[in-house]
């Protein structure tokens, strides 16, 4: 099962890397329901839907899952939204599903954000302090209520000490809240992120798909398809402007990926920097979207982590800080 999922993901990433997304013509069943949403289909493929906004009568989605090339989510209840991201060793995929009060489904980032094949370790683009690019994910953590999260310490993989893992996870969150960069800019984000200690809960993630919002925010290591570094799910309330994120889970691959908190050490071989990956994921928690790896590879929010045994993603770049400043004023 794991191998199947992984090869599907790799294929999806490879295809998306070279093609602009083309939606297939939408067929209908006799009742006016879109073929892609027909009865008995547990998964609905975003690429088979005719538009970014779908009428609920033509696509009854309750209890079903929408998938888009290696990332997916259970459809949220009315008035709620979810942002899902899958970060792999060679790229990333995002998907947003908003469900308005009238039941209409609104999709975002369908087919975008594929990674870069080839030597992505050589970041392409301006230096981190001269690249102003950012993508506004159109959601944010409410400024009046800090996001409280817990860590499943017992899930820490054997290559890390629990103390080191917790330290890296906490520092990554603080880096985004404090807009820490090497660029002498920025101020802290007015929304907060509070660490609430350990939990026994798992992250609310199944494969590369987000489950329903359970209103807790958890960081946990666990089983993910190979090739995936981490999956982040941000659940929230559909807003008139920004959606408000009320819970954010991050599941980090345990077993298929080797993690380190000392990526600069001479003995590092093929190990990924937990703090750098977590900083990227916390960028999503606070509502940043991706920028392309091909032109903006030095920014934390570019689609690729710049390889193993390096820590470039730990510090935010100019565009990352500007993106936060744009949404939190």
Give the nearest distance from C-beta 248 to Zn ion in angstroms. Answer: 13
* Distance of closest approach, residue 279 Cβ to Zn ion, in angstroms: 11
Query: Which residue lies nearer to Zn ion by CB, 34 or 134?
Result: 134
| Shortest distance (Å) from residue 134 CB to Zn ion | 13
Give me the least distance between CB of 303 and Zn ion, in Å please: 7
Structure tokens at 204: 């609310």
Q: What is the nearest approach in angstroms of Zn ion to the Cβ of residue 290?
A: 5
d(CA 250, CA 169): 10
> In the bound complex, what is the minimum distance in angstroms from residue 106's beta carbon to Zn ion?
20
Which is nearer to Zn ion, 85 or 313 (by Cβ)?
A: 85
Q: Which is nearer to Zn ion, 151 or 301 (CB)?
A: 301
Closest CB to Zn ion among 88 and 156? 88
Compute the C-alpha angle 92/202/106, nearest 5°: 45
**Is the Cβ–Cβ distance between 293 and 304 less than 8 Å?**
yes
**Which one, 85 or 244, has the nearer CB to Zn ion?**
85
Q: In what order do the strands lie in the sheet with 72-74?
A: 43-45, 65-67, 72-74, 209-210, 205-206
Of 65 and 85, CB closest to Zn ion: 85
Q: Which is nearer to Zn ion, 44 or 277 (CB)?
A: 277
CB of 281 to Zn ion, least distance (A): 7
CA distances from 286 to 185, 280, 301, 320, 321 (A): 18, 10, 12, 11, 11
Yes or no: say if 84 and 95 are a contact pair by the CB < 8 Å rule: yes
CA dist., res. 119 & res. 131, Å (int): 20
User: Which tokens go with 235?
Assistant: 């659940």
Taking the complex as a whole, how short is the minimal distance between the CB of residue 85 and Zn ion, in angstroms?
Answer: 5
Please give the full DSSP string across 102-137, using - where no structure is assigned.
TS-EEEESTT------S-TTS--SS-TTT-----B-
**H-helix or E-strand spanning residue 260:** strand 259-260
Burial status of residue 19 (CB atoms within 10 A of its CB: 0-12, 13-18, 19 or more): exposed
193 vs 228 by CB, closer to Zn ion = 228
DSSP state of 313: G
Binding residues for Zn ion, rule: CB under 5 A, are: 85, 92
Instruction: Determine phi and psi for 324, rounding to 5 degrees.
Output: -70, -45
């Amino acid at each position: 099962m794991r191998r199947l999922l992984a090869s599907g993901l790799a294929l999806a990433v490879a295809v998306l890397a070279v093609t602009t997304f083309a939606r297939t013509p939408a067929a209908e069943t006799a009742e006016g329901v879109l073929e892609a949403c027909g009865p008995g289909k547990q998964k609905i493929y975003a690429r088979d839907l005719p538009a970014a906004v779908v009428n609920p009568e033509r696509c009854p989605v309750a209890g079903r899952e929408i998938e888009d090339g290696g990332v997916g989510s259970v459809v949220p209840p009315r008035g709620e939204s979810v942002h899902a991201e899958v970060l792999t060793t060679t790229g990333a995929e995002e998907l947003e599903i908003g469900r308005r009060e009238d039941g209409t489904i609104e999709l975002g980032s369908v087919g975008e954000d594929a990674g870069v094949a080839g030597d992505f370790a050589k970041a392409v683009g301006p230096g981190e302090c001269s690249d102003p690019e950012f993508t506004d994910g159109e959601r944010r953590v409410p400024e009046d209520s800090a996001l409280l999260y817990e860590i499943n310490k017992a899930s820490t993989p054997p290559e890390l000490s629990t103390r080191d893992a917790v330290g890296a996870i906490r520092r990554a969150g603080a880096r985004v809240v404090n807009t820490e960069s090497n660029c002498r800019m920025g101020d802290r984000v007015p929304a907060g992120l509070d660490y609430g200690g350990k939990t026994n809960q798992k992250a609310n993630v199944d494969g590369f798909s987000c489950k329903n919002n359970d209103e807790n925010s958890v960081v946990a290591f666990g089983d993910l398809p190979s090739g995936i570094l981490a999956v982040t799910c941000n659940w929230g309330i559909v807003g008139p402007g920004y959606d408000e994120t009320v819970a954010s889970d991050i599941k980090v691959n345990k077993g298929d990926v080797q993690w380190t908190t000392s990526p600069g050490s001479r003995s590092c071989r093929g190990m990924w920097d937990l703090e750098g990956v977590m900083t990227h994921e916390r960028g999503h928690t606070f509502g940043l979207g991706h920028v392309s790896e091909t032109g903006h590879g030095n920014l934390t929010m570019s689609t690729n982590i710049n390889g193993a045994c390096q820590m470039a993603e730990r510090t935010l770049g100019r565009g990352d800080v500007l993106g936060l400043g744009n949404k939190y004023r």
